[in-house]
């Protein structure tokens, strides 16, 4: 990979992936794009506005930049998709098929994330195998399964080097997630620091699969750098790191902030989405085929989140004092 276009670069994954790819391949090699105006999110590096639902615009951007890889991250997450299923269908499906179509024309490699949401209540819960029943009950999940099939199709029909990961919930502090069911595990930290308490939109004992963002970014890069012959799946590999409930996360936060309080007010939509997903993904094929290993467990993740949020706050305060 020498020239990379990222879509959805202003989102939770894109913000950190763009910075990591720029460190690795040089910022001249990375073009970060998002449907939002770069004035709102650009933080160094090359950035442009791109609506990936516009096929001509995707083609023009990829060809003009001379990209040999597209990291396609633009998507509507699970809870936001339930609020407007038609919009989610259009963005998640049209965006991906446009990127795959342009990849077939230009020979680009494609990364696109799938999700734990590609499974549903009929999937074995703990763990969900790599190859198993995929009958999700959410629009987000429907688009993720269809997206996996599209990647397989473009690989077998047109030879597109498509690769993907089924991510669990991703936890990070740089950019907020946008309307997911696992977002509580991010919101809880900011609420803890701001107010010392958090009202959780899931039940105390809802066990979910999770991963800390540095592991997720490393998984993307390692998968994309793996030799093509090592891969038997073109979309997507199960990957996992840790499983916990809101009550267990709260207890770990209390080790850093003993006065932290949590209470529970489950939101029926997000609770039923969470209940329809597996509690753990079986990622043994990712471990065997391209050497995937997670590094962060719950205690390391919580400690690092507090370190990161503290230094972010210190930077903001220093910036405000300097004005
Ligand atoms: N984190 C996502 C969500 O909750 C799952 O892919 O929607």
Render pLDDT for 195-237 as a digit per residue (tens, 0 to 9). 999 999 999 999 999 999 999 999 999 999 999 999 999 889 9
Grade residue 320 by pLDDT with cuts at 50, 70 and 90: confident
* Nearest CA, atom 1, ligand 1: 169
Residue 156: burial class (beta carbons within 10 Å; 0-12, 13-18, 19+):
exposed
Interval 51-69 mean pLDDT: 98
> Which ligand 1 atom minimizes the distance to the CA of 77?
7
Residue 34, φ and ψ in degrees, nearest 5? -160, 155
Render pLDDT for 132-185 as a digit per residue (tens, 0 to 9). 999 999 999 999 999 999 999 999 999 999 999 999 999 999 988 888 999 999
Tokens, residue 10: 């202003």
pLDDT of 128 > 90? The answer is yes
- Confirm or reject: Cβ of 172 under 6 Å from ligand 1: no
Rg (CA), the chain: 19
CA 74 – ligand 1 centroid, Å: 13
Q: Are 260 and 197 in contact (CB under 8 A)?
A: yes
Mean pLDDT score of the chain: 96
Question: Which pLDDT value is given to residue 323?
Answer: 63
- Confirm or reject: Cβ of 115 under 6 Å from ligand 1: yes
> Which ligand 1 atom minimizes the distance to the CA of 81?
7
Q: Report the distance separating Cα 270 and Cα 259, nearest Å.
A: 27
Grade residue 312 by pLDDT with cuts at 50, 70 and 90: confident
* Nearest CA, atom 2, ligand 1: 180
CA 290 – ligand 1 centroid, Å: 24
Tokens, residue 184: 């509580």
The full DSSP string for 281-312 is B--HHHHHHH-------HHHHHHHHHHHHHHH
CA 318 – ligand 1 centroid, Å: 33
Grade residue 313 by pLDDT with cuts at 50, 70 and 90: confident
pTM score over 0.75 = yes
Residue matched to tokens 């509690």:
279
Residue matched to tokens 């930290």:
189
CA 279 – ligand 1 centroid, Å: 13
- Confirm or reject: Cβ of 117 under 6 Å from ligand 1: yes
* Nearest CA, atom 6, ligand 1: 115
- Confirm or reject: Cβ of 180 under 6 Å from ligand 1: yes
- Confirm or reject: Cβ of 169 under 6 Å from ligand 1: yes
CA 43 – ligand 1 centroid, Å: 25
């Amino acid at each position: 990979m020498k020239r990379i276009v990222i879509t959805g670069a202003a989102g939770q994954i894109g913000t950190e992936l763009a910075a990591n790819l720029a460190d690795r391949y040089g910022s001249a090699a990375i073009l970060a794009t998002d449907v939002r105006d770069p004035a709102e999110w650009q933080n160094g590096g090359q950035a442009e506005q791109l609506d990936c639902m516009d096929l001509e615009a995707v083609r023009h951007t990829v060809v003009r930049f001379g990209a040999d890889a597209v990291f396609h991250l633009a998507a509507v997450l699970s809870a936001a998709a339930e609020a407007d299923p038609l919009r989610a269908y259009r963005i998640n499906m049209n965006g991906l098929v446009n990127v795959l179509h342009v990849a077939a024309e230009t020979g680009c490699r494609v990364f696109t994330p799938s999700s734990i949401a590609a499974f549903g209540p009929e999937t074995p819960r703990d763990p969900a195998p790599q190859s198993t029943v995929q009958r999700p009950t959410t629009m987000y999940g429907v688009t993720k399964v269809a997206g996996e099939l599209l990647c397989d199709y473009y690989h077998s029909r047109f030879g597109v080097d498509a690769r993907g990961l089924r991510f669990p919930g991703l936890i990070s502090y740089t950019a907020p997630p946008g309307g997911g069911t696992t977002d509580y595990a991010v919101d809880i930290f900011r609420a803890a620091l701001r107010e010392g308490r958090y009202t959780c939109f899931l039940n105390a004992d809802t066990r979910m699969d999770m991963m800390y963002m540095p592991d997720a970014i490393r998984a993307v890069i390692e998968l994309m750098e793996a030799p093509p012959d090592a891969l038997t799946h073109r979309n997507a590999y199960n990957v996992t790191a840790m499983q916990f409930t809101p009550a267990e996360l709260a207890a770990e936060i209390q080790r850093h902030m003993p006065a932290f309080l949590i209470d529970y007010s489950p939101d029926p939509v997000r609770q039923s989405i969470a209940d329809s997903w597996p509690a753990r993904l079986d990622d043994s094929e990712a471990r065997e085929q391209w050497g995937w290993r997670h590094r962060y467990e719950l205690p390391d993740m919580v400690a690092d989140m507090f370190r990161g949020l503290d230094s972010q706050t210190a930077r903001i305060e220093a910036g405000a004092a300097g004005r």
